[in-house]
Amino acid sequence: MAKISVAGIAADEVMNCLPEGVAVLGEDTSILWANQCFREWFGGVDRTGEHFYSVLGHPEIQGSGKCPLESCSSTGRKFSARLKRDNPSGAPAFYRVDAVCLRKEDAARDKESLDSSADILDKSRIVVTLSDVTEEVLQEQKLAAIHQAGAKLTDLKPDEIFAMDVDQRIELLKDNIRHYTQDLLNVNVIEIRLLEQSSGNLIPLLSVGIDQVAADRRLMASSKGHGVTGYVAAHGVSYLCRDTTVDPMYLEAFKGARSSLTVPIILHDEVIGTINVESPKLDAFSESDQQFLEIFARDVAVALNTLELLVAQRTNAAQQSCEAIHAAVALPLDDLLLDAVFLMEKYIGHDTETVSRLREVLSKARNIKKSIQKIGQTLAPTDVSPAGVGTESHPKLIGKRILVVDPDEHVRNDAHSLLERYGCIVETAHDGDQAVSMVRNSGDENYDVIISDIRLPDYSGYQLMLRLQKLMDHVPIALMTGFGYDPGHSIVKARQAGLHRKAILYKPFRLDQLLGVTETLMDYRPGQVSEAD
């Protein structure tokens, strides 16, 4: 090509300074000229006369599959495409190629022609520009792979979901996280911790390649004293530790660790945990790795939420089944207990054998109630119950015996439904005499709490309290009443007789009030001063 100057500088010198490959091709796609960058990319030698695609190693045209050189030559229009070739190392390389035809005036000037007025394309001369987009394409592919992996974290068919218990689902999620993190980020040391919101504890969920002492280490969401993981959980920001030996915040996860990357797991703008990856190489992670891990952490958050919702759904279904069982058998079992107690008291002193058999009936009926309770807890384990339904906030209630005395069947049924949800063993009576008989024949296990309506068919709740005081050293009783006038001043009298000042439930009462009063009575003993008082 003839020397053309631009502002006194030869054009080929300008072209040789460009960071992109530039080549001029002839009609048969042979290379007429190439700049220095092009030569360096493809062998470092002059490739003049060789075919363009042969020099590139016959690359694959991606996308539409149209050859940009042929399209440009046939239409005279500019065409672009992405090419993929394999480097000598075997790693893929990607180039964006832009092809445009020279103008005849340029070709004429190249031939030292005097005719420079023509503005017609010379389709036999094509200028090709190559841009190395390998990093960009690999980033796109990695992002796509991460999103695909995230979608597969909990990708199960309905029949597969319900064939697995909670622990199996958690193990599946952990296996998928381990697989995709190692595959996509090329790391072998991974730690995931979940944040317990109530306490700030960071509970280990997954540890791979972490020393056991480090995996068992107690960490909190805190800016100081709990390492990078605690800091990330406390502030909700990622942390890239390029050199663990000089970073004062880093806590050793394994011998020989030299760099780490920790990102928060965020769901609905709330930190729910952390993901930490580590490497024995110095400065092993880049800002791009941080971006990838943050994206993956969002998918992990969604997967964890999906798992929690699935567990909650199954738990709710189990609880509904359990409550249906209670609704069907709870009150009939109570009636059986009442009948057995009534008959037993009739035969006491007259027929020892019948009394003995009735005691066995009582014991078996109570064992049936306990069995139903245990089955319910197995079907809907308390550690995975939805918020507000589980017993984790009321552990004192589990296994406690509660007697509810009320003539209203709905009240007795609700007592079973509400209190048994929290692990209580509930029995009911219709009136005061039945309640006295139940207490008298409660066996070796006294009732932990007695809840009675203030107005019973036979006498008042206050009078029931007086009768029970003859049978029990301490009567842990609560009285239920409406907001109407109390003509017998039963509440005042009951308080004078030792009723706890907080042992009043005004109908209709909330569930938290029922639970609060029940727990207060379980903790209270006469003469004992407590915070509840």
> Domains plus CATH for the chain?
5-132 (3.30.450.20), 140-310 (3.30.450.40), 391-533 (3.40.50.2300)
Distance CA 155, CA 161 (A): 9
Distance CA 471, CA 399 (A): 22
CB-based contacts of 340, cutoff 8 Å, min separation 6: 358, 361, 362, 365
- Cα dist. 4→7, 109, 115, 116, 367 in Å? 10, 9, 16, 14, 103
494 CB burial (10 A radius; 0-12, 13-18, 19+): buried
Report the percentage of the chain scoring pLDDT > 90. 33
Can you list the positions of beta strands (E) in 367-525?
401-405, 425-429, 449-453, 477-481, 504-506
pLDDT level of residue 362 (50, 70, 90 thresholds): confident
Residue 457 C-alpha from the chain's centroid? 53
Distance CA 150, CA 301 (A): 10
How much is the pLDDT for 437?
92
How much is the pLDDT for 465?
94
Residue 458 in tokens: 């036979």
How much is the pLDDT for 484?
59
- Cα dist. 192→136, 181, 195 in Å? 29, 11, 10
| 332: three-class secondary structure by DSSP | helix
pLDDT tens readout for residues 54-99: 999 889 888 766 788 888 888 888 889 999 888 877 788 899 999 9
- pTM of the entire predicted model: 0.47
Distance CA 148, CA 316 (A): 30
Distance CA 35, CA 16 (A): 5
Does residue 389 register a pLDDT over 50? no
pLDDT tens readout for residues 300-330: 888 777 666 555 555 555 566 666 666 677 7
More confident residue, 420 or 254: 254
Q: In what order do the strands lie in the sheet with 259-267?
A: 219-220, 201-208, 189-195, 270-279, 259-267, 239-241
pLDDT tens readout for residues 161-200: 556 666 676 777 777 777 777 776 778 899 999 888 888 9
pLDDT tens readout for residues 109-143: 544 443 443 456 667 789 999 999 888 887 777 76
Residue 296 in tokens: 């993956």
Bridge pairing between strands 21-25 and 121-132 = antiparallel
Longest pairwise C-alpha distance within the chain: 139
